[in-house]
């Protein structure tokens, strides 16, 4: 009997070793095994899905055999990165598979590996021994690729065709897809490219997560609209009817939300008392599971804070767009917003002409800094000088042409003389142009580089415009190989959007644009036609929708370009416009984004102060 008992015990032990693990969902695995790291959590330790119950169904949808695609369109502050990490941990430990995580850029993939994945592997006991140390021989562990028993995880950048190289993948995690480029190099849409890696797996999974951006050009919005379109709903504290937490029903004065059925108002905490009873309600049938979340559901963000951030952003379209995306998790409808504004505020060349003012002097007293933009054409240079005050309130100073062949040095000498002139304010203070940008992307590129490199000590910079969503106003700076000139890449689409927002301002103050009434200074009807010469449209490129600026007619668009170049010059200079006027002029400090080698002219360095 004893021998039989021992044999049975050994048999059971052996069976346990080869038996498949008990069935678990992603949320169950996380509740049992996941540990939050101190680097990424204010409450490190055991993961508990009950802290944010809306996460449970999202995670468990990964285990739904009827759906191979899961879409999460969400705001910030709802734990979407932790959802990705829990999914990775589940497949590494419980259901080993080849996994690929795609970030918008290769640099972001490296950051994710170091700052998020590595701490989880270190602090979660079930995962600690899954990946060998990077220093071990043949460990299979690098920054962007880690092997484990039964699979591997590769982290890649959507901007890097090489990192998306062909290999069979069962689980694809696509993070922040709205920030992916339209094409991975010349190879096409990165989402389609990596999705093809899963075709050999019958049980493949594709999880797409992102904060949305622009309506009509948002990848995550397109995917969500083709999914089940599920909303997280809570019961009304009064009538018990389930409904989503919607910004349109929030009262800003008392931070209460009205029930869409009975109409009673309840506070955040009254609504969230029913959070454990909350449920996802689908709006349509689909084989794709799609979820939308906003910050109103977050346990980490108070409604009073969300309202305060809205009040801070509501008067600035750029800030409001960011708030709309990151707080409400909704795409910003640029076309609708623009149409609404034009219905309410007529932005036409006539409307801007009517805004012209009779400055007491060429430069109003409120101007604290002058910048200039220069455009190079085949037979002339065009220049605009713009004055800037507190809150980036702006004044058109002068728009003029310097006629002549830019291949000849005398044309550039005239520009030099013009940029070095002294402009007088009514109070007698003299100002010089503190920063200038010259477009190098068109005619006479070599001449532009040669001109700028000798005048960088005067903050004269060569620029090249780049369109597309997400290109910063002032991007990377490089050095041209032959002339050694510093070349700034500027985001022209973002600049155009900011300008249109400022032109809509109706009350003088931050962002407001002033124009002089003197036509001799170049501000006539032709100028305003050029300033409003482009509009936004939606175009499809290689299957991906994108917002583009296109010309409305055959009107020349130099006034629009030059105002944007002068704005870029201000951003490169980066002065503190709120500082006392006497302190603004020293541009040699850390305020400037440009860090070139110091250049001298005869007589020593030139201090480009605003007063003389």
C-alpha to C-alpha distance for 531 and 567, rounded to whole angstroms: 14
Domain that holds residue 393: 349-584
Residue 222 lies in a domain: no
C-alpha to C-alpha distance for 291 and 57, rounded to whole angstroms: 9
pLDDT at 587 (0 to 100)? 36
pLDDT at 9 (0 to 100)? 64
Q: Which own/partner pairs from 596-603 qualify as long-range (CB within 8 Å, at least 24 positions apart)?
A: 596/456, 596/486, 598/457, 599/454, 599/456, 599/457, 600/457, 601/457
- Show the tokens assigned to 130: 């899954």
Residue 419 lies in a domain: yes
- Show the tokens assigned to 119: 């701490």
The model's pLDDT over 227-256, given as tens digits with 9 standing for 90+, comes to 999 999 999 999 999 999 999 999 999 999
pLDDT at residue 185 tops 80: no
Residue 465 lies in a domain: yes
* 428: CATH: 3.30.420
pLDDT at residue 455 tops 80: yes
- Show the tokens assigned to 583: 């302190």
**pLDDT, mean of residues 585-602:** 40
Mean pLDDT score of the chain, rounded to an integer? 85
Q: Residue 267 forms beta bridges with which residues?
A: 256
The model's pLDDT over 483-502, given as tens digits with 9 standing for 90+, comes to 999 999 999 988 998 898 88
Residue 82 lies in a domain: no
- Show the tokens assigned to 16: 């346990």
Query: Between 121 and 332, whose confidence is greater?
Result: 121
pLDDT at 17 (0 to 100)? 47
C-alpha to C-alpha distance for 294 and 222, rounded to whole angstroms: 18
pLDDT at 184 (0 to 100)? 73
**pLDDT, mean of residues 553-567:** 90
Q: Which residue blocks in 247-292 are alpha helix, DSSP H? A: 268-272
Strand residue runs (E) in 368-429: 369-377, 380-388, 394-403, 423-424
Look up residue 596 and give its DSSP letter.
P
What angle do the packed helices 26-33 and 80-93 form, to 10 degrees? 90
Q: Which own/partner pairs from 388-393 qualify as long-range (CB within 8 Å, at least 24 positions apart)?
A: 388/570, 388/577, 389/577, 390/366, 390/510, 390/577, 390/578, 391/509, 391/510, 391/511, 391/577, 392/502, 392/510, 392/511, 392/570, 392/577, 393/366, 393/508, 393/509, 393/510, 393/511, 393/512, 393/514
Most confident of the ranges 346-360, 390-404, 593-607: 390-404
Strand residue runs (E) in 448-590: 460-466, 474-479, 486-491, 513-514, 534-541, 544-551
The structural domain count of the chain equals: 1
pLDDT at residue 3 tops 70: no
User: DSSP assignment of 300-340, as one string?
Assistant: TS-HHHHHHHHHHHTT-HHHHHHHHHHHH---B-HHHHHHH
**pLDDT, mean of residues 412-434:** 91
The model's pLDDT over 130-182, given as tens digits with 9 standing for 90+, comes to 887 665 555 568 999 999 999 999 999 998 888 787 678 999 999 999 998 87
Q: Residue 478 forms beta bridges with which residues?
A: 487
């Amino acid at each position: 009997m004893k021998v039989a008992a021992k044999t049975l015990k050994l048999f059971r032990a052996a069976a346990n070793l080869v038996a498949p693990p008990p069935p678990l969902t992603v949320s169950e695995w996380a509740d049992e095994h996941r540990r939050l790291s101190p680097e990424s959590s204010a409450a490190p330790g055991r993961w508990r899905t009950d802290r944010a119950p809306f996460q449970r169904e999202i995670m468990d949808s990964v285990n739904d055999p009827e759906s191979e695609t899961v879409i999460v369109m969400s705001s910030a502050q709802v734990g979407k990165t932790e959802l990705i990490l829990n999914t990775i941990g589940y497949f590494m430990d419980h259901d080993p598979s080849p996994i690929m995580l795609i970030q918008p850029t290769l640099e972001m993939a490296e950051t994710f590996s170091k700052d998020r994945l590595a701490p989880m592997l270190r602090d979660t006991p079930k995962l600690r021994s899954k990946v060998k140390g990077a220093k071990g021989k043949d460990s299979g562990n690098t920054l962007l690729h880690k092997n484990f028993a039964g699979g591997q995880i590769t982290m890649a950048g959507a901007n890097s065709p090489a990192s998306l190289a062909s290999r069979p993948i069962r689980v694809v995690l696509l993070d922040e897809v709205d920030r992916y480029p339209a094409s991975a190099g010349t190879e096409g849409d990165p989402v389609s490219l990596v999705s093809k890696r899963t075709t050999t797996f019958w049980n493949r999974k594709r999880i797409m997560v992102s904060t949305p951006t622009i309506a009509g050009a948002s990848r995550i919005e397109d995917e969500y609209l083709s999914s089940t379109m599920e909303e997280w709903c809570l019961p009304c504290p009064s009538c018990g009817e389930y409904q989503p937490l919607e910004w349109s029903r929030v009262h800003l004065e008392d931070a209460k939300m009205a029930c869409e059925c009975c109409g009673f108002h309840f506070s955040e905490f009254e609504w969230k008392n029913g959070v454990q009873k909350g449920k996802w309600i689908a709006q349509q049938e689909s084989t794709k599971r799609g979820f939308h979340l906003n910050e109103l559901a977050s346990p980490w963000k108070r409604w009073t804070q969300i309202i305060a951030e809205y009040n801070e952003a509501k008067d600035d379209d750029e800030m409001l767009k960011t708030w709309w995306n990151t707080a409400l998790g909704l795409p910003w409808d640029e076309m609708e917003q623009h149409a609404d504004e034009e219905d309410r505020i007529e932005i036409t060349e006539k409307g801007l002409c009517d805004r012209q003012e009779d400055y007491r002097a060429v430069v109003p007293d409120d101007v604290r800094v002058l910048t200039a933009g220069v455009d190079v054409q085949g037979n002339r240079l065009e220049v605009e000088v713009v004055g800037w005050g507190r809150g980036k309130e702006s004044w058109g100073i002068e728009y003029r042409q310097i006629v002549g062949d830019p291949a000849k040095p005398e044309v550039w000498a005239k520009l030099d003389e013009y940029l070095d002139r002294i402009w007088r304010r009514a109070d007698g203070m003299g100002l010089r142009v503190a920063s200038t940008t010259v477009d190098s992307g068109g005619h006479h590129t070599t001449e532009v580089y040669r001109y700028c490199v000798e005048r960088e000590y005067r903050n004269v910079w060569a620029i090249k415009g780049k369109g597309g969503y997400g290109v910063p106003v002032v991007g990377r700076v490089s050095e041209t190989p032959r002339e050694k000139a510093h070349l700034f890449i500027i985001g022209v689409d973002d600049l155009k959007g900011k300008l249109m927002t400022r032109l809509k301002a109706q009350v003088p103050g931050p962002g407001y644009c002033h124009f002089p009434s003197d036509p001799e200074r170049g501000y006539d009807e032709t100028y305003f036609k050029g300033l409003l010469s482009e509009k936004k449209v939606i175009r499809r490129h290689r299957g991906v929708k994108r917002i583009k600026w296109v010309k409305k007619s055959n009107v020349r668009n130099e006034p629009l370009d030059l105002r944007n170049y002068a704005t870029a010059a201000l951003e490169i200079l980066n002065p503190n416009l709120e500082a006392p006027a006497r302190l603004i002029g020293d541009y040699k400090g850390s305020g400037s984004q440009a860090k070139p080698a110091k250049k001298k002219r005869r007589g020593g360095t030139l201090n480009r102060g605003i007063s003389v």
